[in-house]
Structure 1
Amino acid sequence: MKTVLQVQNMEKYYGNKGNVTKAVDGISFDVEKGEYIGIMGASGSGKTTLLNCISTIDRVTSGHIFIDGMDVTKLKGKHLSKFRREQLGFIFQDFNLLDTLTAYENIALALTIMKTPAKEIDERVKSIAEKLMITKELSKYPYQLSGGQKQRVASARAMVTDPSLILADEPTGALDSKSARMLLDSMETMNAELHATILMVTHDAFTASYCKRILFIKDGKIFNELVRGRDSRKEFFDRIIEVVTLLGGDSTNVF
C-alpha cells in the first residue's frame, strides 16, 4: 500500500523564549492511500495546529511532513502554492464557496486555474457531481443552496482535481443532523468508490464513527488510537465514547 502522508517527529511552538507554548509535541504517524482518518482532541490539544501544518497553512517548528514523497516543510513561494493547489483538497466548516459563481463554476475553478481543457473540466465536474448527488444544483448560486448542498459542492471542489490528500476541518460543524448525515454518506462514497484519502478533524463522536481510524490528541501528543476494523459504525461509536470518557468528559463537551 502506498503511503500518502508521513508526519515525522513534528513539533510546533508558539511564543518567545520567556513564554513558549508547545502546541504539537513530537507527533509521528503515517496515512496510507485510501485511508479515512479522524483526529479528535479537546480544545487546545493541538489537533487544529496539526491539521494546519499538514495543510501547509502553518509551518512546523521542527520535524518533517511528507505528502506523496514530497517534504512540504521545505516548499516555499510559488512551489508551495502549486503543490497545495494540485495535491491537496480542502473541506472547511464554513464552505468557502465564491458567492458570485455557480456551483458548477466553484467546482471547476481549480481545474480552470490549472489550465485543464474545457471538455475535461466538464466531464470531471459532472462525474463528481453525480457521485455526490448534486447534479441538479450545478446551475445554482450558493445563496440558493442549503447548508448540506453547499458542503457537498465544497466536497466536490476538493475532489475534482484528484488530490493526493483531502483535509476536512469540522466539515459537519455548521450543518443540521440530516445534512450532516448526507455529507458523511457522501464522504464515505468518496473514500470507498473514488479511493480518496481523507484526514478529518472533528469534535463529534458520530462524525468520527464514519472514519476507519482515529487519532486522539492530548497536550500536543497522540494519546490513543482506534482502528474500526470489522466494527459496525455503532460499535465503533461506542468505542470512541469510551476514549472520550478516559479524556474526562463526553462527546458534547470534551471535543
Structure 2
Amino acid sequence: METILRIDNIEKYYGNKSSLTKAIDNISFEVEKGEFVSIMGASGSGKTTLLNCISTLDKVTSGRIFVGGYDITGLKGNKLNKFRREELGFIFQDFNLLDTLTAYENIALALSIQNVKAGEIDRRVKKVANELGIYEVLNKYPYQMSGGQKQRVASARAIITNPKLILADEPTGALDSKSSRMLLESFNYLNAELEATILMVTHDAFTASYADRVIFIKDGKIFNEINKGDNTRKEFFDKIIDVVTLLGGDLNNAL
C-alpha cells in the first residue's frame, strides 16, 4: 500500500515567550492511497490548525509532513505554488467558487493554469460533471445554483487535476441535510471509484461516518482513532458517538 500522507511528530506553537499556545502537540499518523479519513475534535482542539499545516497554509514549528513521499515542510516560492496546484485538491465550507465564472469555467480553471489542451479540458470537465451529477449546471453561475450544487462543483474542481490528496474543511457545514447526504455520497464515489485519497475535518458525526477511519483530536493531541472495518455506516456512526461522549462534551456544542 502506498502512503500518500505521513505526519511525523509535528508541533505548532502560536504567540511569544510571554504567551505561548501549543496548538498541535507531537502528532503522528499516516494516510494510505485511497483512504477516506475524517478528523474530529472540539473547537480549539487543533484540528483546523492541523489541516492548515498539511495544506501548507500554515507552517509547523517542528516535525515533518510528507505528501507522496516528499517533505513539504520546507517548500517555498514557486515550488510551494506548484505543489498546491498539482498535488492538493481543496474543498471548503464556503465553496470558494469565482462568482464571475460558470461552473464549467470554475472546474476548468485549474487545468487551464496547467496549460492542458482545450479538448482534454472539455473531456475531463464533462466526465467529472457526469460522475458528480452536475452536468446540467455547467453553464450556470454560482448565484444560480443551490448550495449542494455549488459544493459538488467545488468537489469537481478539487478532483479535476487528479491530486494526490483532497483536503476538505467542514464541507457540509453550509448545507442542508439532503445536500449534505448527496455531497457525502459524491465523496464516497470519488473515494471508491476514482481512488481519491480524502482527509476531511468535520464537527459532525453523521458526516464523519462516511469515512473509513476517524481520528479524534483533543488539546492538540490524538485522543483516539477508530476504523469502520466491516461495520455498517449506522454502526460506525454509533461508535463515533461513543468516542464523542468520552471526549467529554455535547455533540452539538463541543464538536
Same-fold call, TM cutoff 0.5: yes
- Counterparts of 1:217 and 1:119, CA distance in 2: 45
- Match in the other structure for 1:139: 139
| 2:163 equivalent in structure 1 | 163
**What amino acid is aligned across from residue 107 of structure 1 in structure 2?**
I
Aligned to 1:210: 210
Tell me the equivalent position of 2:243: 243
Partner of 2:253: 253
- Structure 2 distance, partners of 1:43, 1:249, is 11
**Residue 96 of structure 1: CA displacement?**
0.2
Give the corresponding residue for 1:120. Answer: 120
Query: Equivalent residue for 1:198?
Result: 198
Deviation at 1:252, TM superposition (A): 1.2
Aligned to 2:33: 33
What is the deviation of 1:253? 1.5
Show CA shifts across 1:90-146 (max 9, x none). Answer: 000000000000000000000000101111111110111110000011010000000
SS at match of 1:104: helix
Give the drift of 1:248.
1.1
**Displacement over 6 Å in runs of 4+:** none
SS in 1 for 2:125: helix
Q: Which runs of 5+ in 2 are unaligned?
A: none
SS at match of 1:48: helix
Could you tell me which amino acid in structure 1 is paired with residue 184 of structure 2?
L
**Counterpart residue type for residue 6 of structure 2:** Q
Give the drift of 1:250. Answer: 3.0
Per-residue CA deviations over 1:193-220 (Å, capped at 9, x if unaligned) read 0000000000000000000000000000
CA distance in 1, matches of 2:13, 2:252: 28
Q: Confirm whether residue 46 of structure 1 aligns to residue 46 of structure 2.
A: yes
Deviation at 1:251, TM superposition (A): 2.1
Contact kept in structure 2, 1:210 and 1:233, CA below 8 Å:
yes
Aligned equivalents of 1:112, 1:165: Cα separation in 2: 20
Amino acid at match of 2:39: I
Asked if 2 retains the 8 angstrom alpha-carbon contact of 1:38 and 1:215, the reply is yes
- Report the residue type matching 1:129 in the other structure: A
1:89: which partner in 2? 89
Letter in structure 2 aligned against 1:7: I
Letter in 1 for 2:137: E
What TM-score do the two structures reach when normalised by structure 1? 0.99
- Scaled by the length of structure 2, the TM-score of the pair is 0.99
After TM superposition, give the deviation of residue 18 of structure 1 in Å: 1.2
For 1:178, the equivalent position in structure 2 comes to: 178
The yes-or-no answer on 1:228 pairing with 2:234 is: no
1:11–1:23 CA contact under 8 A, matched in 2: yes
Letter in 1 for 2:179: S
Question: Alignment identity in percent?
Answer: 72
Aligned residues: 255
C-alpha distance after superposition, 1:19-68 (max 9, x if no partner): 11000000000000000000000000000000000000000000000001
SS state of the match for residue 253, structure 1?
helix
Residue 155 of structure 1 aligns with an amino acid whose one-letter code is S
CA distance in 2, matches of 1:18, 1:34: 44
Cα RMSD over matched residues? 0.5
Question: Which residue identity lines up with residue 253 of structure 1 in the other structure?
Answer: N
1:249 Cα deviation after fit: 2.1
Provide structure 1 residue ranges, at least 5 long, that are not aligned to the other structure. none
